[in-house]
């Protein structure tokens, strides 16, 4: 537990430019406090000693009351995890958070339904979950993946991806290294698709006007100066298909 605590402390120094010193982090970072309490409650939860389960849940509730972060004592959390600000974060009983993951405020790692067994998500190493994002169900989010703020992720995500939207859609950024704190670098998939559709509507209106002009020429008995046929527009292009997802 001590090694894990040191790793949690080190990752805050590395990733948070607002951290001015070790004492400030120890006193003023609720994410660090919540993780420290969780590591104790998790050890109690797994011990299976008489009354240990109730004590572990009570310690979890104390952490929730002190920090605003609710972590079930059954959840498994790796080393070097950073819960930034953290108010409103909820981590379910069977959730697994890998090493060096970063969770912002309002994140939920929750379940769906009332099934027993594994029902909460698994985050592999170096996953970043933006503010207010929800990752639900017994799914796996691959390493080095970033989930945009406010996204709702309901399906497995491969490593090295970016997920945005409701429901979450995968936007690949192969070969591009992005600062995990740079939320402004997230792609705006909705705006891109809307722009694409607007361009297609504009092209369609142009073709319609051209066809109407051709019909007027034919009705007047005048020969056409140019063909009336334009190029077909196919809506099922790569950009829109990626936005809609494979199950659309």
pTM over 0.85: no
Q: Is 128 exposed, middle or buried (0-12, 13-18, 19+ CB in 10 A)?
A: buried
248 pLDDT higher than 60:
no
Q: What is the pLDDT of residue 67?
A: 93
> What is the pLDDT, as a whole number, of residue 221?
79
Q: What pLDDT does 214 receive? A: 82
Rounded Cα distance between 102 and 33, Å, is: 15
Using one digit for the tens of pLDDT, what is the confidence trace for 147-174?
988 899 998 988 888 888 888 777 765 5
Residue in the block written with tokens 């498994």: 76
Q: How far is CA 149 from the centre of its chain?
A: 7
List the domain boundaries for the chain: 2-185, 189-244
> Given its phi and psi angles, is residue 150 left (phi above 0), alpha (psi -120 to 50 degrees) or beta?
left
pLDDT at 179 over 80: no
| pLDDT for 166 | 81
Interval 87-139: pLDDT, tens = 999 999 999 999 999 999 999 999 887 778 889 999 999 999 999 999 999 99
- 12 HSE (CA, 13 A, CB side): 28
Whether 141 and 155 have beta carbons less than 8 Å apart is answered as: no
Of the candidates 99, 95, 90, the one whose C-alpha atom is nearest the C-alpha of residue 68 is 90
Question: How far is the CA of 224 from the CAs of 210, 212, 230, in angstroms?
Answer: 12, 12, 14
Higher pLDDT, 240 or 179: 240
Distance of CA 77 to the CA centre of its chain: 17
Confidence grade of residue 239 (pLDDT, cut at 50, 70, 90): low
- Homologous superfamily (CATH) of 2-185 is Hexapeptide repeat proteins (2.160.10.10)
Instruction: Give the 3-state secondary structure of residue 134.
Output: strand
- pLDDT above 90 for 73: yes
Summarize pLDDT for 8-52 with one digit per residue, the tens: 888 888 888 888 888 988 898 899 999 999 999 999 998 888 888
């Amino acid at each position: 537990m001590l090694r894990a605590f040191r790793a949690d402390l080190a990752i805050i120094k590395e990733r948070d430019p607002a951290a001015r010193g070790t004492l400030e982090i120890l006193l003023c970072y609720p994410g660090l406090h919540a993780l420290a309490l969780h590591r104790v409650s998790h050890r109690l939860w797994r011990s299976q000693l008489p009354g240990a389960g109730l004590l572990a849940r009570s310690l979890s509730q104390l952490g929730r009351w002190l920090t605003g972060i609710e972590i079930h004592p059954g959840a498994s959390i790796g080393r070097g995890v950073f819960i930034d600000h953290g108010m409103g974060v909820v981590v379910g009983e069977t959730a697994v958070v890998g090493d060096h993951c970063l969770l912002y405020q309002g994140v939920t790692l929750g379940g769906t339904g009332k099934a027993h067994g594994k029902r909460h998500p698994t985050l592999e190493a170096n996953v970043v979950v933006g503010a207010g994002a929800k990752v639900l169900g017994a799914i796996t989010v691959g390493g080095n993946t970033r989930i945009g703020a406010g996204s709702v992720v309901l399906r497995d995500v491969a490593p090295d991806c970016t997920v945005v939207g409701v429901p979450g859609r995968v936007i690949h950024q192969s070969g591009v290294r992005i600062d995990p704190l740079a939320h402004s670098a997230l792609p705006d998939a909705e705006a891109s698709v809307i722009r694409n559709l607007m361009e297609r509507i504009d092209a369609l209106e142009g073709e319609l006007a051209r066809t109407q002009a051709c019909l007027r020429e034919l009705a007047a008995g005048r020969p056409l100066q140019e063909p009336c046929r334009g190029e077909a527009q196919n809506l099922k292009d790569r950009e829109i298909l990626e936005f809609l997802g494979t199950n659309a």
